[in-house]
Structure formats: C-alpha cells, structure tokens
Amino acid sequence: MQTLCTQTEMTTTILHISDTHLGNRQYEYDVRRDDFSDAFDQSVSIAIQEDVDAVIHTGDLFDTRDPTLPDINDCIDILSQLEKEGIPFYGIVGNHERKMDEQYLDLLSRAGVADRLTKSPTIINGEVALYGIDAVAKPAWDAAGLAIEEPPEDTFTLLSMHQLLNPPVPEIMAEHSLTNVLDRVNIGLDAIALGDYHEAKGTVEEGTQVWYAGSTERCSNTEESPRSVSLLKIDSGTLTRTRVELDTRPFQSIQIHFTENDGFDFAEDEVERHTVDEKVVFVTVTGESSTVTSSDIRELVLDHGAAVCKVEDQRSGPDVDISEGPTGEIQSADRLIEKKLSEKNLSGIATEIEERVRTADPSKSTFDDKVQEMVTEAQSETFDEPTEASEPMEASK
C-alpha cells in the first residue's frame, strides 16, 4: 500500500461542488428549477474568480436519471464557461442520475465540457492524482470493486465518491463505514471528497481528510444551513479546505395551529407575522379541521409575495413527500428499494438485473438481449464456460 503524499513543493487549487440536482422543480415550481441552475452557475463563477486548476463534482449533477433537454443544454452552457477559461470539470455519477450503461456525464464529455473520474488517476499539475468511484447501490456494495490504481510517486491522492459514510455522516443516516472504504481502496489516500449528504461536514480518519461540500441548493425545508462549495488548496502536500457560501433563495417556515373557531382571518394574521417576499415558504398546518383548505393557505402566502409555497396539512395526518433527499423528511423511493434489497443477500447478477429493470427502459428492443447477455456472462464465470450467447430453449412439442 502506497504511503501518503510526501511532496515538498506543490500548489494546486480545486473547487469541490456537489449535489447540484439540476432540473429539480422543487414543490412543482419552475422558479425552483431556475434556482438550482443559478446556484450551479454561481458555483462555476466562483471557480473562475478563484482561477482554480480544476473543478470536481461528486455526484447528482442532475436530479433525475432522465433530465430534460433544456436542463442538459443549460448544464452545457454553464460548463462552457469553464471550458473557455481552460478549467477542466471532472465528475462522478450520483444515485439520482445513475443509469445502467452510458451516463449523462459521457454526453457532457462528448460535448467537450466535462470528463469522468475513474479508478485510474487523473493528474493535475503533475502533482495531484484525482480518482472517482460512481455511486454504488446498497445491494451491490459488498461485491463492488473499490480498489484504485497506484498513483505516480509523491502525488497527493484525492478520491471522489457519492455515498453516505460514517463518519462524517451520523451513524443513524449512514449506509456504510468510512473505514470500510479506506480498507478496500488499496492505496493510502490523502483525501476523500464526498457527495450525497447535503450538509457541509468533515472528519479526519487514519490521516485521511474526508468531507462533504453539501448541496448547492436546499433540497428540503429541513436543510437550514447556508449552501456552499469547498475551495481546496494543496500546498507542499498539505490540504487547506475553505467553505464558500452561496447566495441562494431563503426559506421561511410558518406554523399555523387552528382551534375550533379559527378561520381565514386567523390564517392571514399568522402569515402576516412573517416576511415572505420572494422566499420559499413551508407552512405546517395543525389542529382542528376548518373551512380553510391547504389551497387557501397556499394562495394566501403567494398573494403576500412568496415565490414558492408548500403546505403540509397535518390536520388529517402528516403529508408524505418522497421527493425529499437523504437529509429531508423521507428518503427517495430508489434508496428505500435499495435498502430493502440489501437485506435479501441477492447475488451480484440478480442485483444488476434488478437495477436494470428499475432504471432502464424495458420497452427497448435491446433490453431482453442485454439481460440475456448478463446472465450468460454470469453462467460462464460461475461454471468456467466460454462466453457464447445462449441459444433460446425450444418449447416441448
């Protein structure tokens, strides 16, 4: 195992961006889609202002695995600013955007505005070795190959990943241990830059600096701290990390508790106690049922100048919103499915086929052929047979 960097003369600056979730129409508002785009654009502007040597993105560039064409074009336009300045953009694939085969990062690479990080080193300034491992679904974690290639001698090693690791993530929210990663990567790492957790948080483990930059926009009303990116300066083998806050749209929480005789005037009084102009307003309604509906409250808040209003009416039980991210009120549907599957101890091939069925388009003519190819390869590996395509079985006459 390689020892950590002992370089004596090195100055490299890198901007770490994560969890931009482009295309997220949070609470079904187009203005929030624009906000997520603006936060990414602001992050890129910071990279240009700081004249960084590279930008790394640790996953969930897009909010879904099927972003719209306008969202893709918007991303290309933003990244083109870096390309014009000669600043490379390197990324990995997050769980929200992960597809089975080619990824949207590959499309951005063909457009000349991005490159994917891999388990082979990408060298910056001849002094920093960048690596990347795409998001690994929980059922596939134990079988996933995390070993990365040896870097050139005396380079600072920085691995990008998109996983919930403890530490820095609290144990109750984490999916895997950080020590498990350090044991499996096969080299001594100087640093790990992480995505998936939306709050800026870091730790040091076995001499390796590990941190989350956090998301660039709030993906949930529970994400209260300012959004940020991380500016990394590597000088003489020493990493200095600075959190740079972003200017994003403010959130405002309002609690309205109805008693038996409260009506619309009471709701209006509660709203007017807060400044809501141009904010994302999250209203929680509790107490007795009344003639005032969730729609009435939403319109009331918007009429008072809010840009966005989400109403959670708990008068008949709590609302559930599965669009919230890992630090929101409920995990995404995909993450819940993967958690359940990880408890089933499925084989590697079963896990791959399940993910293909869930994430690919089964209507495509190549879908069955691809699944057949995966099964054939698994049979060949298990029984040490040639990897020829299996002939379809004839029905009994």
Which sign does the torsion angle of CA 348, 349, 351, 356 carry? positive
Residue 77's CB is within 10 A of a number of other CB atoms, namely 12
Contacts of 306 (CB under 8 A, 6+ apart): 252, 276, 277, 278, 279, 280, 281
Distance CA 52, CA 113 (A): 16
Determine contact, residues 179/205, Cβ cutoff 8 Å: yes
Look up residue 283 and give its amino acid.
Answer: V
Dump the DSSP string for 140-186.
Answer: GTTT-----PPPPTT-EEEEEEES-EETTS-TTT-SEEHHHHHHHSS
Helices (H) and strands (E) in the chain, counts: 9, 17
**Residue with token string 């000349």:** 112
Q: Which residue has the tokens 């003369």?
A: 9
The DSSP symbol for 64 reads S
| Residue 96 annotated as catalytic | yes
**From the candidates 96, 162, 257, 274, which is the catalytic residue?**
96
How far apart CA 375 and CA 390 sit, in angstroms, is 9
What distances in angstroms separate CA 304 from CA 116, 200, 273, 279, 339, one per listed residue?
45, 33, 11, 11, 42
- Is residue 3 classed as helix, strand or coil in its secondary structure? coil
**CA 240 vs CA 30, 98, 159: distances in Å:** 37, 31, 16
* Backbone φ, ψ for residue 40 (5° rounding): -65, -45
Residues with catalytic roles: 96
